[in-house]
Structure 1
């Protein structure tokens, strides 16, 4: 019984780490990367839809993304979605394709991006600690119902803490990698 519960909470923590990694990927690091568009939604016949599902996104050179909508009428909607996003880049629309030119990062912008990724990392750690708290509360509830012993409870609390520490270290490793990437550019 305890092992299935561990797996449930372990899976939740792993999912949180993946979410943090995806948020990091969405932070533009001075070079063109289609993942920066992942969070930007376009109104496609009344439904918010990711750009990658309504257009071809390519990178003709390291500092440019080119977005070619499959439906020409979406060009204006995609341009508007990019302008209202937090991407900070003005799209160039020639009627058929939209180009995004990524400028060289300034020192100030690098620091802003590092602050942003640190915030994402901290939010991820908070989510992981919340998962641990929920797990410990569930185990205490089982103890109250006499489903597990006091020793089982102590063991479960220790195992959850170890899992939490490991997950936080994984997030720290992702953060260090992203910070290095931002400083190298």
Structure 2
């Protein structure tokens, strides 16, 4: 691989990672601890992630958040309630339970649409990486560092790489959509 395809591949890998992170936050009816990743709890004046303040257990339809400091129960409950998660936490004095009801058909369609938006954003990011790598090859060609034939070969290699990453995004979207639409 050349420096152009290496640079593009690194950027495209980051796009795939970001897509995976976004997909993990989509609530599918299964209890997934990653839905709590963006929720911050006020811990002695510092906003801290829940997973740094509590143990999180999950089964098929429920998350159980057990704070290491029981004095944080109210703060964690308040943070979850005020988030856009759409789940009402129940506090039993030692842990917080988050039930994940199965989404309705309409809600599953909305979640699938949200997944498509994330996938499209990832595709745009991959295409931008292609544009950047092609621009570097063209710049080096104009500067006389590489020949026109070499620049064209690089562009073909970059396009092949781009196509493979677009296909990977489509596969990830297909799998996530099937997971979301599952009853």
TM-score by length of structure 1 reads 0.91
Confirm whether residue 44 of structure 1 aligns to residue 40 of structure 2.
no
User: Could you tell me whether the CA contact under 8 Å between 2:37 and 2:50 is conserved in 1?
Assistant: yes
Q: Report the number of matched residues.
A: 183
Structure 2: which 5+ residue stretches go unaligned? none
Give secondary structure in 2 for the equivalent of 1:89: coil
Give secondary structure in 1 for the equivalent of 2:4: helix
Report the Cα offset of residue 46 of structure 1.
4.1
Aligned to 2:139: 141
Report the Cα offset of residue 155 of structure 1.
1.2
Segments of 4+ moved more than 6 angstroms = none
Give secondary structure in 1 for the equivalent of 2:178: helix
**1:46-67 CA deviation, whole Å, 9 max, x = no partner?**
44432212110012x4211010
Q: 1:146 to 1:46 in 2, by over 3 A?
A: farther
Mapping 1:1-185, distance limit 5 Å: 3-59=2-58, 61-185=59-183
Aligned equivalents of 2:82, 2:138: Cα separation in 1: 47
Q: Which moved more, 1:46-55 or 1:174-183?
A: 46-55
Q: 1:174 to 1:75 in 2, by over 3 A?
A: same
Q: 1:43 to 1:146 in 2, by over 3 A?
A: farther
TM-score by length of structure 2 reads 0.92
Structure 1: which 5+ residue stretches go unaligned? none
**1:113-172 CA deviation, whole Å, 9 max, x = no partner?**
001111110111111111111111111111121111111111111111111111111011
Aligned equivalents of 1:6, 1:47: Cα separation in 2: 42
RMSD: 1.7
